A and B are shown apart, each in its own frame.
Chain A
Amino acid sequence: MQKKVFQLLVDNNPGVLSRISGLFSRRGYSIESITAGVTADYKVTRITIVAVGDDVVLEQIEKQLGKLVDVRDIQELKPDESVYRELALIKVKATPEMRQGVISVVDIFRAKVIDVAKDSLIIELTGNQAKIEAFLNLLEGYEILELARTGIAGLCRGSEKVVHIED
């Protein structure tokens, strides 16, 4: 089993996300994360999908996604040719005495404290998945009250592989 990151450019039609996620559930493909957001062209949405499977399955996933009528382009974002980032929001239980300890970990990771309450903090962290995992490991001594992760968004490096969409 291996993991692949796919970048899709899709027409912003109603139901496009459900068509994509429906394809995964109905054909039994595994999806690790999916993120979507509109591009500079408001008619086009960029979707980053992390899929898991063997070679045959991953090839089918790429072809089946490419076949969907709304999908304009699909490409694999290879790890060494791309950058991936994920955003995590982490709510940690922290009494006033515990705050400094948390904040020192936050500083090392160049994360940010974006909310402070009487007995908790919310931390914002951006990075690749390994960085987020490492940060969560360091928080083991603390109680994580809530965790929200976005799944990764990605882009290929350089301008050679940029997909230009024409009408």
Chain B
Amino acid sequence: MIGADAIIKCLEAEGVEYVFGYPGVAICPFYNSILDSDIKTILIRTEQNAAHAASGMARMTGRPGVCAVTSGPGATNVITGIATAYADSIPMIVITGQVDSALLGSDVFQEADITGAVESFVKYSYLVKNANDIPRIFKEAFYLANTGRKGPVLIDVPIDIQNAPVNKFSYLEEISMRTYKPTLKGNMAQLKKVLRELDKADRPIICVGGGVLLSGAKNELRAFSEKYKVPVVSTMMGIGAMPTKHPMYFGMVGNNGKPYANRAMNESDLLIMVGARVADRAISQPDLITQNKILVHIDVDPVEIGKNACPTIPLVGDAKHIFNDLLTMEMECEHEAWLETLNEYRDTMEKKRNPNPDYVDPAGFITMLSEKMHDRAVYVADVGQNQIWSCGYHIVKDGRFFTSGGMGTMGYSIPAALGAKIADPNRQVVAVCGDGSFQMSMMELATMKQFDVPVKLIVLKNNYLGMVRQYQHFTYKDSYSVVDLSGSPKLENIAAAYDMKYLRLENMEKAEEVIDEFLKNDERVLLECLIDPMDLV
């Protein structure tokens, strides 16, 4: 057995079914050994998208997604994908080939110090120097990636190590690392304090972030909210933790969120933040959430607590454990008047839009689309105006909502949707992007074709980098700079080139029948929607 065989055995032991990647000489021993395994390989069209596809798969399965690329440019290309996963705490294993270890540091062909380069975007990284260390390193890497605050782990493997003999292969069942022990159970005294404050509160609210989804605590959150009658708002990463139409859910907060969600949070007297970082897009003024209210901050990463706002009650732990513990305690709670107020806000404060009838109204379109999508469908939003419309108007029923929330990486939706669809082929998966983000990842239409992955794509086309154009509209008084996308290809021809079904919607008149046609079959289809270039989110 050689090092590359050992890596494959580790992946098998971890239950890995797919590897996304792009080969080069330095990773060839790995891609040769994988031929003898049942693990399937997906040749992505650029390395960054290998990480995004692994991210989509990880978010579906709850297990680390895996990608493997070559040294040098292969490794540096994957960095944006790693940083995107890191910002959203997505568990991922990135394997990079490396030049011969005897040549390390001598700037040979396709050498890059990738462990050094990704230092600030990974939870941990390894440079393998002995093939016999492979089983331990992979066990640790999977454990690190998918416990505590999840995140990407990179393993750099020089080609001679991949080819070196492995004397004895044994893969540990369990692992404990003496320097790394995440706290999952909440402190009992703190938990009791939370309930005591909840008992006293007249206007409590929960704000959930992506941590609740990563912890798999959707059901526990709902049970908690329903048992103690506590309304819920969410950050962008927390969308989908509650069904959009759930009576206790009051929308996304933040500067791109719902006015009634922000108002609810501001007027609360007890705010329970769970699995959220209190980052600038959700909470632009951290001072406001500590004034005149009790702030409880629950997170599995102790560093996040107190980083941006000082909570009254800090509570370190995993959301699922904490909700379960809180649910076992007995207490009666009613917040009738508060819920009534919030319902009134929700009914009266929805932002009014004046859609241009000559174009597709993205708000109306997305609402109609999501109503017609399967209950358990996956909706992947890209970055730009399309993301904000998606957050605002997509209705999550029992499905999932993915997007690049922390890093805001354009081009995320197509590869992430590809990864999600491969992870669960029975689910309907729809990716929504703008004409800018589409062109950042449109090479993956080939991957979808080659591996027969029937993702449904929507391009909201306005011939602009809309989000930046909007910013220039407000900040620079319509002095537009480098946002005109008028060289874009005819999407009809692109679809034809990749043997995809193509649909086009020019205004809302035929929206219903076009959406029906779009969703009808489990097939690769591209729907182009013409959006008013001057529309604002």
B127 within 8 A of partner (CB): yes
CB-CB < 8 A to A19: which residues of B? 119
Q: Which of A22, A67, A72 has a CB less than 8 Å from the CB of B119?
A: A22
Q: In chain B, what residue has the closest Cβ to A166?
A: B178
CA distance A63 to B180 in the complex (A): 13
Which residues A56-71 have CB closer than 8 A to chain B?
A: 56, 59-60, 63-64, 66-67, 69-71
With a cutoff of 8 Å between Cβ atoms, the chain B residues found around residue A22 in the complex are: 119-120
Q: Is the CB of B303 within 8 A of A67?
A: yes
- Proximity string of chain B (180-192) to chain A, C-beta cutoff 8 Å, 1 when within and 0 when not: 1000000000000
Which A residues are in CB contact (< 8 Å) with B306? 56, 59-60, 63
Residues of A within 8 A of B301 (CB): 67
On whether A72 and B179 interact (CB within 8 A), knowing A14-B127, A18-B119, A22-B120, the answer reads: yes
Chain B residues within an 8 Å CB radius of A66: 302
Distance to closest chain B CB from A16 (angstroms):
10
Q: Does A141 contact B (CB under 8 A)?
A: no
- Indicate if A165 sits at the interface (CB-CB under 8 A): yes
- Tell me the residues in window 132-184 of chain B with beta carbons closer than 8 Å to chain A beta carbons: 144, 177-180
B105-133 interface mask toward A, CB cutoff 8 Å, 1 = contact, 0 = none?
Answer: 00000000001100110011101010000
Decide yes or no whether B449 CB sits under 8 A from chain A: no
The A-B contact count (CB < 8 A) is 41
A63-95 Cβ-contact flags toward B at 8 Å (1 or 0): 110110111100000000000000000000000
Q: Please measure, in the bound complex, the distance between the C-alpha atom of A113 and the C-alpha atom of B302, giving whole angstroms.
A: 49
Q: A118 vs B306: C-alpha distance in the bound complex, in angstroms? A: 59
Q: Which of A109-167 contact B (CB under 8 A)?
A: 165-167
Q: Is B307 an interface residue (CB 8 A)?
A: yes
In the complex, A18 Cα to B124 Cα: how many Å?
A: 13
* Cβ B120 vs Cβ A26 within 8 A: yes
Contact with A along B287-311 (1 / 0, CB 8 A): 0000000000000011100110000
Q: Which residues of B contact A56 (CB under 8 A)?
A: 306
Quick check: A60 and B307 within 8 Å, CB to CB?
yes
Q: Mark A31-66, 1 if CB is under 8 A from B, else 0.
A: 000000000000000000000000010011001101
User: Which of A64, A69, A71 is B303 in contact with, Cβ under 8 Å?
Assistant: A64
Chain A residues whose CB sits within 8 angstroms of the CB of B115 once the complex forms: 15
Distance between Cα atoms of A59 and B129 in the complex (Å): 36
Does the CB pair A67–B177 fall under 8 Å? no
Query: Which one of A15, A26, A59, A165 lies within 8 Å of B178 (CB-CB)?
Result: A165
Q: Which residue of B lies closest to A71 (CB)?
A: B179
Closest chain A residue to B304, Cβ basis: A63
Taking CB atoms, residues of chain A closer than 8 Å to B127 are 14-15
Q: How far is the CA of A11 from the CA of B119 in the complex (A)?
A: 17
Residue of B nearest to A63 (CB): B303
A166 to B119, CA, bound (A): 28
Q: Take A14-B127, A15-B115, A26-B120 as given contacts and tell me if A69 and B302 are in contact as well, using a CB distance cutoff of 8 Å.
A: no
Q: Across the two chains, which residue of chain B brings its CB closest to A59?
A: B306
Name the B residues within 8 Å of A14 (CB-CB).
127, 129
A43 to B, closest residue via Cβ? B178
* Pairwise interchain contact A69-B178, C-beta atoms closer than 8 A: no
CA–CA, A165 to B306, complex, Å?
Answer: 28
Contact B124 A69, beta carbon cutoff 8 Å? yes
Query: In chain B, residues 451-482, which have Cβ atoms closer than 8 Å to a Cβ of chain A?
Result: none
Q: Which of A10, A59, A69 contacts B177 (CB 8 A)?
A: A69
Pick the contact of A11: B120, B125, B179, B303 (CB < 8 A).
Answer: B179
Quick one: given A15-B115, A26-B120, A69-B144, are A60 and B303 in contact (CB under 8 Å)?
Answer: yes
Residue of A nearest to B129 (CB): A14
Question: Closest CB-CB distance, A142 to chain B, in whole Å?
Answer: 43
Q: Please, how many angstroms separate the alpha-carbon atoms of A119 and B116 in the complex?
A: 45
B307: nearest chain-A partner, CB-CB? A60
Assuming the contacts A14-B127, A59-B306, A63-B303, asked whether A69 and B179 have C-beta atoms less than 8 A apart, the reply is: yes
Which A residues touch B129, using CB under 8 A?
14
A63: which of B123, B124, B177, B302 is its contact (CB, 8 Å)? Answer: B302
* Given contacts A14-B127, A15-B115, A166-B178, A67 and B120 within 8 Å (CB-CB): no
In the bound complex, do residue B303 and residue A167 qualify as a contact, i.e. CB atoms below 8 Å apart? no
Q: Which residues of B contact A72 (CB under 8 A)?
A: 178-179
Contacts of A60 in B (CB 8 A): 303, 306-307
Residues of A within 8 A of B179 (CB): 10-11, 69-72
Within the assembled complex, what's the spacing in Å between the Cα atoms of A19 and B120? 9
B168 CB, min distance to chain A CBs, angstroms: 21
> How far in angstroms is the closest Cβ of chain A from B175?
13
B119 close to A167 (CB less than 8 A): no
Question: Which A residues are CB-close (under 8 A) to B120?
Answer: 22, 26
Task: Give A163 Cβ to nearest chain B Cβ, in Å.
Answer: 12
Which residue on B lies nearest to A11, using beta carbons? B179
**Min CB gap B101→A, angstroms:** 12
Within the complex, the shortest CB–CB distance from A95 to chain B, in Å, comes to: 46
Q: Which 3 A-B pairs have the closest CB atoms?
A: A63-B303, A72-B179, A69-B124
| Additional 16 contacts, C-beta under 8 A, given A15-B125, A18-B119, A69-B123 | A15-B127, A22-B119, A22-B120, A56-B306, A60-B303, A60-B306, A60-B307, A63-B306, A64-B303, A66-B302, A67-B302, A69-B179, A69-B180, A70-B179, A165-B178, A166-B178
- The 30 sampled A-B contact pairs (Cβ below 8 Å) are A10-B179, A11-B179, A14-B127, A14-B129, A15-B115, A15-B116, A15-B125, A15-B127, A19-B119, A22-B120, A26-B120, A60-B303, A60-B306, A60-B307, A63-B302, A63-B303, A63-B306, A67-B301, A67-B302, A67-B303, A69-B123, A69-B144, A69-B179, A69-B180, A70-B179, A71-B179, A72-B178, A72-B179, A165-B178, A167-B178
